[in-house]
Structure 1
């Protein structure tokens, strides 16, 4: 019997935060729903609670769900402790199907909870045949790709009262904005999401029920270039000071190879459907050649170079009905992309932060320098008051940058344009042509920038800080991870790192928000924990893994690349670019192995392993063909990228990565085999095959002179990364004690300075911390002299630069990005070792609470989001005592370890709030 409290309320375990595909009540998903929820308890001071079973009900209506009739799926009582990764196994779902669900759970005393609140999900268009429209655009031969065309589809709604709900399904390549009857369909940007259009094209589902009117309705879609079309433009013709002149705008164009079909002309496909009271589904609008288009007020837009908007032209277009008599043209049928239309199942890109400029400095008449206060990714919203007819037609130009030019106190865009040009020769610029209508407000819609400063030219009157609104954009991944200590410098380092991560959370995990905006894919695994410790990336990272799998070259694509690359996975995903001399490296291409594995370890979801396994096998077969005498010699092109002051052999870095992939794949075989009933199957043989290959690579490694010297027991060149990479990969397992000592000495030899690049840095921190040397890591992080994270904070940086020696590059000719996440591995160390929170089994079912009591700190506190819920911890030192408090969500078993200087005691605990105290040991 369910227990009651004194007020008649239920006491016990219950569920909350119900999700499908890790999203709340998602609209327009694909056909394989995956359920999750979190567990909470109303029992006061109850500890060690756990779920022992669940029951899920899924129905087509809320009423039938309440009555428990006409179920799509009744899971029955499933003896399972896990509350995530639960795959739908009910009746086959059809397109545009709305479903409602709830869950009940049982606790360790076999006590049933109440039913959860009702949640919902809705499928999108699941079959290609469901799309009745065609891809339309301006025509395959239309040249003026810098313009943003506006397309309009018209349809009638005879009786609005008969409409229960309405949906719009839209995809636009490269990016699109959509509105219905003049109302934006959402606050999202850069829809529908980047992809490899030869395999997948994402679409978005919108609820337009409340935007319909009786009679004539207008669906308006404006297309921008994004990456899909933008690569074709440079230099371009743009409006400047009211005239058309040739003016260079920055466009990344150092590609040696563009995959056929991944880029093309702008185009769209759309469909509007109504569900009526009698249950019928009615298609009232599809994209076809009856749609009309006109070039809109965005007279230039490019993913890299910026955006120009003509408010005078916008005013002329407002109120004019779309018709050929008014200058609109009929849409043309476009070649369909090869990729399959698929619902995008991750959060959109939104404005995540808005704030006014920190300061404004006048440089001349109408000429101002704006400091928004901190570096980041996004754009500026311009606010104008009291503009008049005299202002009409005048342009205001805004030049974003990360640095100030000390010569003229204007912006220095070299860190945003690959250091190619002098000022205003090859620029990034956003411009607005004033309408002179009094109050005007504008921001770009088809591009974003990495910047801290904005030089404004042509502004009428005096510019004040409240007229420059800085808008920071990112994929809307929820932020749950926190970190705070008694040391403000360490806190600033955390803030700098978090901001660098969020600045690169776009449709891929980009390398930087200005120079490249590309998904260099190594960070998806090297930085996985650092990102997941802060943000809920379950849905976003699944999209990235899907994109990784899509990117693998088949035989036809490999032949087009000019060599035998069947099974090759690019280093940039989606593969909009392949940069000559920088595309082959197992730490990049091997993301097809490492990223699904990291996802499984963190979130406990085997589905990503099943999805990636065929890709993994083909990639390992490709990589095997690249070996020489068992090692990857003269193959890897990036190696220990970003290394400073030391050299680590590429052959060591690459071969350790290959070895680790083989070991992981053997483990994946065993995990996937465990899900099958047969005692013996093909996965047994495959596991043994990968184990044997790993051993062969290991033997070859130890016989290669650049990898290991038996006489001196030195790995590689003796660099920090040489030892750390060997340790992290498991290659140095038999020499672990000696290798750890050598790593510590290598750090001391360099004065506790950071020397590793982005591959080795995570592995240096992990190898040292796991061996009990977090004090060494702390000294490296907080070193008062460069290179160190502390130097970044002390010098006022608000994001992480691309390289440790950023100041040297600043003074030289190769100025580089000030906003890279690739060296942000300190964030993982903060959560895993300063707070002491780290998983010990896939999905955090078992975890450690083992904080490192940093001598210089008096307290630390923070949190991390796990599949079970948020884990919180705080510790402080007071009067030779160490106080530790932790909150463990239901479902997790935690091993709590007190710091060794306070006795090092260990205790296994379950869920609940826990407090511990220990004294300094003399």
Structure 2
């Protein structure tokens, strides 16, 4: 600011610094990231009249905006030197208030770039030794309605476990893992889980692009021998999803891509990658399907399997395979996480004699169970949203994916805790069968899963009925914003476009959904047909091709309109101009398609 004299305001502070709607994100690939912040003041009627952003790294200042005359505190776009893969950048901001006084600089925040080019990937795609998933025949509406096609359990795919030993030196400064999978994956490093997100890499149009995740694993490494481990499940890639419960949506084999980059204090680097040095085995997860549920046989557990001392001599070598890397993009927005736990409110014995745990609230998630019993005892947990008129358990889902059933086989330990890993259900009631001894309702906990969207709005009034309605809306949003915006968490779990275009304004009021819906719109853009049609579900699943055949179209008015309405809602709620720019071509193509399809050309007379 040269020699200008400024009055320092002690009444205004700047906080909640966010880059691309995230606090201190790592592994992003937005080459012109945007910055937002919040003013905190000790007096009323304070507003911003200007701001200054300073960006720096370990070598000094990289870019400085100088004072910008503006009252905006959202989505200021970076316009400095080219950002580099893997690099961390720090930023601070200060503001001027309506009196012309300037605040102190905020505390420094940071963001870290991911791998920006396919050339940054040294890792090989690997596939464990496995049989391919058996692709089931498409299911027609008649069979679905009559329930004539049951679940074929023999077709379900076991989860694969992979591991690799490697050695590190002393003086590790930092370490990152970049990873993704065909299917769902979890990583372990030296016996400890990597990260806290669930169901990674989440659902995208896998045939168009695939998200990779970035993890800070600095604290999990030790000097000497280490082991990186992974567990793979079918997930959205090869498992069941959609109206008909079809499997093999994008492929029929689980695969992993992982690259660990270690930086030492002396400046040297080490890279550990997925390659043919990995070995694999099956384990206690006999199968784990997003829709059908999971079967876990605790007798097959491989104790300490991701620790260096474990004997993996009987494990089988993996195969290096070729898969496209140009479709890899960094994960955007907050991931799916465990949002909260819900305690059951009662234990029911139905008129039919069924034992049911009632959680008092429909949730999307799973159940954690504590149990003690004889090895080989089989416990079944079946999930449902409602009871029938007589108060009996009711499975009101038809089709071959209706089960929503988790099965646990005891190993005979003094105290066993089971929680499914690669599935989720929509439920309030859980029917328990095979539980040894008397059930204590306190041995069951509901685990709520959702994309980790912060609450931004609420409503409370003197009428408890209206308050309950608002609470129900929030619960519905949690249950239907799990990776993508869905229609329901128990049946199709598909990204119906018409549903989100109706709900988007309410979603923005309740929660911070800009990054979440921006990511979904990217799926919509790549799924748009050449003639401009926007599918009724995004990502588009093969089961819905049957609907397209019946209707002779992939799209419909109201549903396809989501490609215009959702970006406009985001712009109006978040002031996000980029979401309009990124989706403008999709909008135009959709309107052109509607115009060509309309029987009355007078509907599209230009206004100017």
Q: C-alpha distance in 2, partners of 1:178/1:591? A: 36
Match of 1:24 in 2: 23
Other structure's SS at 2:219 match = helix
Other structure's SS at 2:313 match = helix
The C-alpha deviation readout for 1:170-189, integer Å capped at 9, x for no partner, is 10122111111111112211
Q: C-alpha distance in 1, partners of 2:525/2:607? A: 23
Any conservation in 1 of the 2:352–2:392 contact (CA below 8 Å)?
no
Which of 381, 390, 395 aligns to 1:413? It is 395
Q: C-alpha distance in 2, partners of 1:253/1:527? A: 21
Any conservation in 1 of the 2:125–2:320 contact (CA below 8 Å)?
yes
Q: C-alpha distance in 2, partners of 1:147/1:513? A: 23
Gaps of 5+ in 2: 134-154
Match of 1:78 in 2: 68
Match of 2:176 in 1: 167
Match of 1:438 in 2: 414
Match of 2:582 in 1: 611
- C-alpha change, 1:324 and 1:119, in structure 2 (3 Å) is closer
Any conservation in 1 of the 2:49–2:98 contact (CA below 8 Å)?
yes
Other structure's SS at 2:459 match = strand
Match of 2:111 in 1: 121
- C-alpha change, 1:605 and 1:597, in structure 2 (3 Å) is same
Match of 1:188 in 2: 197
Match of 2:239 in 1: 230
Q: C-alpha distance in 2, partners of 1:430/1:337? A: 34
Match of 1:392 in 2: 375
Residue 515 (structure 2) pairs with residue 518 (structure 1): no
Which of 73, 83, 91 aligns to 1:93? It is 83
Question: Which has the bigger relative contact order, CA under 8 A and spacing at least 6?
Answer: 2
Any conservation in 2 of the 1:292–1:323 contact (CA below 8 Å)?
no
The C-alpha deviation readout for 1:442-491, integer Å capped at 9, x for no partner, is 11111111111111011011111111101111111011311111111111
- C-alpha change, 1:216 and 1:254, in structure 2 (3 Å) is same
Any conservation in 2 of the 1:197–1:338 contact (CA below 8 Å)?
no
Other structure's SS at 1:597 match = helix
Other structure's SS at 2:22 match = coil
Residue 20 (structure 2) pairs with residue 38 (structure 1): no
Which of 584, 590, 606 aligns to 2:561? It is 590
Q: C-alpha distance in 1, partners of 2:109/2:78? A: 14
- C-alpha change, 1:380 and 1:140, in structure 2 (3 Å) is closer
Match of 2:161 in 1: 150
Q: CA deviation at 1:280?
A: 3.9
Which of 527, 537, 542 aligns to 1:572? It is 537
Q: CA deviation at 1:591?
A: 1.7
Residue 26 (structure 2) pairs with residue 55 (structure 1): no
Q: CA deviation at 1:366?
A: 11
The C-alpha deviation readout for 1:182-203, integer Å capped at 9, x for no partner, is 1111221101121112221101
Aligned ranges for residues 531-542 of structure 1 at < 5 Å? 531-542=507-518
Match of 2:428 in 1: 452
Q: C-alpha distance in 2, partners of 1:126/1:548? A: 23
Any conservation in 2 of the 1:56–1:104 contact (CA below 8 Å)?
yes
Q: C-alpha distance in 1, partners of 2:501/2:349? A: 45
Residue 294 (structure 2) pairs with residue 329 (structure 1): no
Q: C-alpha distance in 1, partners of 2:339/2:224? A: 37
Other structure's SS at 2:507 match = helix
The C-alpha deviation readout for 1:90-126, integer Å capped at 9, x for no partner, is 1111111111110111122322211011101101111
Match of 2:266 in 1: 278
Aligned ranges for residues 878-897 of structure 1 at < 5 Å? none
Match of 1:462 in 2: 438
Q: C-alpha distance in 2, partners of 1:412/1:116? A: 55
Match of 1:404 in 2: 387
Q: C-alpha distance in 1, partners of 2:131/2:368? A: 34
The C-alpha deviation readout for 1:122-145, integer Å capped at 9, x for no partner, is 011111110101211136863475
Residue 496 (structure 2) pairs with residue 509 (structure 1): no
Residue 277 (structure 2) pairs with residue 290 (structure 1): yes
Any conservation in 1 of the 2:480–2:487 contact (CA below 8 Å)?
yes
Gaps of 5+ in 1: 5-9, 65-69, 232-250, 555-565, 632-654, 660-691, 696-922
The C-alpha deviation readout for 1:540-594, integer Å capped at 9, x for no partner, is 122112222222234xxxxxxxxxxx33221211112425147421321222222
Any conservation in 2 of the 1:397–1:431 contact (CA below 8 Å)?
yes
Which of 329, 342, 357 aligns to 2:329? It is 342
Any conservation in 2 of the 1:252–1:304 contact (CA below 8 Å)?
no
- C-alpha change, 1:450 and 1:216, in structure 2 (3 Å) is same
Residue 243 (structure 2) pairs with residue 267 (structure 1): no
Any conservation in 1 of the 2:238–2:250 contact (CA below 8 Å)?
no
Match of 2:343 in 1: 356
Other structure's SS at 1:588 match = coil
Any conservation in 1 of the 2:53–2:66 contact (CA below 8 Å)?
yes
Q: C-alpha distance in 1, partners of 2:312/2:606? A: 67
Match of 1:378 in 2: 365
Match of 1:204 in 2: 213
Any conservation in 1 of the 2:118–2:326 contact (CA below 8 Å)?
no
Match of 1:835 in 2: none
Q: C-alpha distance in 2, partners of 1:486/1:365? A: 41
Q: C-alpha distance in 1, partners of 2:352/2:295? A: 22
Q: CA deviation at 1:604?
A: 0.7
The structure whose residues are more often helix, as a share, is: 1
Q: CA deviation at 1:405?
A: 4.1
Any conservation in 2 of the 1:379–1:449 contact (CA below 8 Å)?
yes
TM-score by length of 2: 0.89
Match of 2:142 in 1: none
- C-alpha change, 1:15 and 1:76, in structure 2 (3 Å) is same
Any conservation in 2 of the 1:196–1:339 contact (CA below 8 Å)?
no
Q: C-alpha distance in 1, partners of 2:178/2:260? A: 6
Which of 460, 463, 480 aligns to 1:484? It is 460
The C-alpha deviation readout for 1:710-757, integer Å capped at 9, x for no partner, is xxxxxxxxxxxxxxxxxxxxxxxxxxxxxxxxxxxxxxxxxxxxxxxx
Q: C-alpha distance in 2, partners of 1:588/1:18? A: 36
The C-alpha deviation readout for 1:370-411, integer Å capped at 9, x for no partner, is 111111211111112xx35xx10111100001122456x542
Other structure's SS at 2:484 match = coil
- C-alpha change, 1:602 and 1:576, in structure 2 (3 Å) is same
Residue 188 (structure 2) pairs with residue 217 (structure 1): no
Any conservation in 1 of the 2:132–2:252 contact (CA below 8 Å)?
no
Q: CA deviation at 1:73?
A: 1.3
The C-alpha deviation readout for 1:59-95, integer Å capped at 9, x for no partner, is 113xx6xxxxx32211122222211111111111111
Q: CA deviation at 1:269?
A: 0.5
Other structure's SS at 1:11 match = coil
Q: C-alpha distance in 1, partners of 2:242/2:332? A: 29
Q: C-alpha distance in 2, partners of 1:81/1:464? A: 57
Match of 1:737 in 2: none
**RMSD (CA atoms):** 2.6
Other structure's SS at 1:586 match = coil
The C-alpha deviation readout for 1:178-234, integer Å capped at 9, x for no partner, is 111111112211011211122211011000000001111111111111111013xxx
- C-alpha change, 1:363 and 1:394, in structure 2 (3 Å) is farther
- C-alpha change, 1:339 and 1:574, in structure 2 (3 Å) is farther
Match of 1:760 in 2: none
TM-score by length of 1: 0.59
Q: CA deviation at 1:155?
A: 1.7
